[in-house]
Amino acid sequence: MFDLLYFVVTAAAGIFAFGIAREFVRQRLRFVDAVRHPLAPWIAGLGVLMIASPIAWLLPLITTTTALVAGAAAGLGTASGVKALKRGD
């Protein structure tokens, strides 16, 4: 029973992190040249992972897998936002 709950929380965190990162890049960082650097998605993902890791130790529903998925999703969302900026979306 708890496995399904952990999966739902992890999936929701990943979807939420991806969407927030993508929209933040598209709306707020569209005029910032540093976001177009190839390391920007890696830095964003690492930042989310560093913030989510201590939370994983404190809250029982947030696991280290959730922190990893949220970090990866934030990095992918940042990369997707940069691609959208290049396309002009």
pLDDT attached to residue 25? 97
pTM: 0.92
| pLDDT tops 90 at residue 32 | yes
Contact criterion met (CB below 8 Å) for 25 and 37: no
Per-residue pLDDT tens for 33-68? 999 999 999 999 999 999 999 999 999 989 999 999
